[in-house]
Amino acid sequence: MNSINTDVCILGAGPGGAAAALFLAKEGIPCVIVDKAIFPRDKVCGDALSGKVVEILNRYDRKLVERLSNDSIQLNCWGVTFVAPNLEELSIPFRNKPKDPEKAREIAPGFISKRVDFDNFMVEELKKHGSIQLIQGVDIDKFERKEGGFSLQDKDGNHHIQAKLVIDASGAHSQFAKKIGGLEVEKEHHCAGLRWYYEGVEGMKEGNYIELHFLKDFLPGYFWIFPLANGQCNVGVGMRSDYVSKKRINLKQELQDIIQKYPQLRERFKNAKPVDDIRGYGLPLGSKQRKISGDNYMLVGDAASLIDPFTGEGIGNAILSGYTAAQQAKTAIEGKDFSSAGLKDYDLAIYRRLGGELKLSYRMQRLVKYPWLFNFVVRKANRNKTLRETIMVMFEDIDLRDRLRKPSFYFKLLFSGKN
């Protein structure tokens, strides 16, 4: 039996757990991080890393972001194309790509990287810190509250960890979040997603734009095509789980049918081949505020249900919450206070930073039900520079998202002349 005593134990070495460990190391705080997988390991995902990932990782070390930017595992991504139900396209740059080739080498506003590679890139960074004890291939499934912390044990009874503080970053199917945190899957705040890697898809956009297609017979779900570094594409579908159940949708069949059914997609896939099987995973959405800390623990990333309810983006919020949990852990260790009352500042910090954008995204998610409205906004934005720029800034500027919540803002934007 391998017995360990530690102040902080992190469950899961995905983006959320890895970020927590790296920011703890930056503060000089040792930790143990355990993952049931051995890296490199796959994770079903769209593989798109947003500007938020870049922003938070820059706080850890700009050099890490530079290395990622120069690594062949990733593609620089400069924007997003929305395809409306009437097939009109709206392309929005995340940031204007500099024309000067010297400047164009600056770090892109977003990346796309297969998770098998990106997560391994992060795990390699963990290994550079002597203060991080990384344990792989150990599935922790017993969590017992003990005086002064938690006693954790793996399935086989070979590993026993005693921790004053548990940072649970074990993802969408976290047993800790369910059993200790009391978080249940609520279908109206949960999305089902499928991923299929393809090669030979034609008509990819300049600037490696990611594409979100809102297809008329598949609303309120969406279909995506994201380009990848090796010439492959990440293709997939996502739909809120309550609609999947209510409409009795077979998502796997739907994904295969979409590619054949819509002429504009059929043409682009005519020479394309899948390179693996369709794989699915859950997306716990942040459309409902939850209690994400308690005595001796904090929940991070998908374990805390922090995925953006409109875009399905969760890596940025996982890394942000990992960072925030590390800051809170420092306060707890310094004040020797791991109580629920002390750790509730973590909840406050997370929802102060993310609450507004999660609420706005939830509103936008609900609008997708109305194809005419989607068509209208796309048509208007294609003719209105201010609206296009507004949407562009939305990807970086949270304050602007606040303004977007005021109905008067839309009124002015949509009905006040051409530009």
SS3 74: strand
Q: List interacting residues with ligand FAD (CB under 6 A).
A: 11-17, 34-37, 43-48, 50, 139-141, 169-172, 175, 193, 195, 236, 281, 283, 301-303, 307, 312-316, 318
The answer to whether the bond into 30 is cis (omega within 30° of 0) is no
Nearer to ligand FAD, 149 or 236 (CB): 236
Q: What is the largest CA-CA distance in the chain?
A: 72
The phi, psi pair for 370, rounded to 5°, reads: -105, 95
Nearer to ligand FAD, 142 or 359 (CB): 142
Least Å distance between CB 386 and ligand FAD?
28
Nearer to ligand FAD, 325 or 387 (CB): 325
Measure the CA–CA gap between 62 and 74, rounded to whole angstroms: 17
Least Å distance between CB 182 and ligand FAD?
17
Least Å distance between CB 240 and ligand FAD?
13
Least Å distance between CB 135 and ligand FAD?
9
Element at 82 (helix H, strand E):
strand 79-83
Least Å distance between CB 54 and ligand FAD?
12
Nearer to ligand FAD, 12 or 294 (CB): 12
Least Å distance between CB 169 and ligand FAD?
5
Measure the CA–CA gap between 131 and 201, rounded to whole angstroms: 45
Residues 6+ apart with CB under 8 A from 335: 342
Which of 126, 95, 124, 119 is CA-nearest to residue 47?
119
**């970086």: which residue's tokens?**
396
Nearer to ligand FAD, 299 or 404 (CB): 299
Nearer to ligand FAD, 7 or 42 (CB): 42
Least Å distance between CB 175 and ligand FAD?
6
**Cβ of 374: how many Cβ atoms within 10 Å?**
23
Which of 282, 283, 325, 281 is CA-nearest to residue 300?
325
The closest residue (CB) to ligand FAD is 314
Measure the CA–CA gap between 101 and 272, rounded to whole angstroms: 32
Contact 259, 265 (CB under 8 A): yes
Least Å distance between CB 360 and ligand FAD?
17
Measure the CA–CA gap between 20 and 300, rounded to whole angstroms: 9
Residues 6+ apart with CB under 8 A from 135: 32, 33, 34, 35, 159
Least Å distance between CB 305 and ligand FAD?
10
Least Å distance between CB 270 and ligand FAD?
25
Nearer to ligand FAD, 11 or 387 (CB): 11
Nearer to ligand FAD, 281 or 409 (CB): 281
Measure the CA–CA gap between 152 and 163, rounded to whole angstroms: 8
Nearer to ligand FAD, 132 or 140 (CB): 140
Q: What are the structure tokens assigned to 92, written together?
A: 């929005």
Which of 60, 169, 57, 172 is CA-nearest to residue 113?
57
Nearer to ligand FAD, 20 or 265 (CB): 20
* Amino acid (1-letter code) at residue 85: P
Contact 182, 260 (CB under 8 A): no
